[in-house]
Amino acid sequence: MQASVSEGVWKWVSPKTCPRYWKLAEQMNLTRLALACKRQCLKEFREMGSSSELGSLSKAMMRELLEDAKLQAESEVAFIG
């Protein structure tokens, strides 16, 4: 089931929605999907900065993003307010 869920969700995942799907995947223990969504969040962090979805992440998930060396942002400080 995990593979079919992971494949089917990508048509809805965008930089603005990937935090929502990451959080949902974590809650449902869909490890591969959660990792893929996290990678998308890291890659698209600049675009996500203005998304209200980013604020829906748990503190632990936000910390994961900000501490990851693969985060693609000039400065994390610009997104903390």
- CA 20/CA 24 separation, integer angstroms: 6
pLDDT, tens digit (0-9, with 9 covering 90-100), for 27-68: 999 998 899 899 888 988 887 766 777 888 899 998 998 899
Q: Which amino acid is at 60?
A: A
Mean pLDDT of 13-27: 88
Q: Which sequence spans correspond to the domains of the chain?
A: 2-73
1 pLDDT band, cuts 50/70/90, is very low
Phi-psi region of 54 (alpha: psi -120 to 50; beta: other; left: phi over 0): alpha
Phi, psi of 68 (to 5 degrees): -75, 130
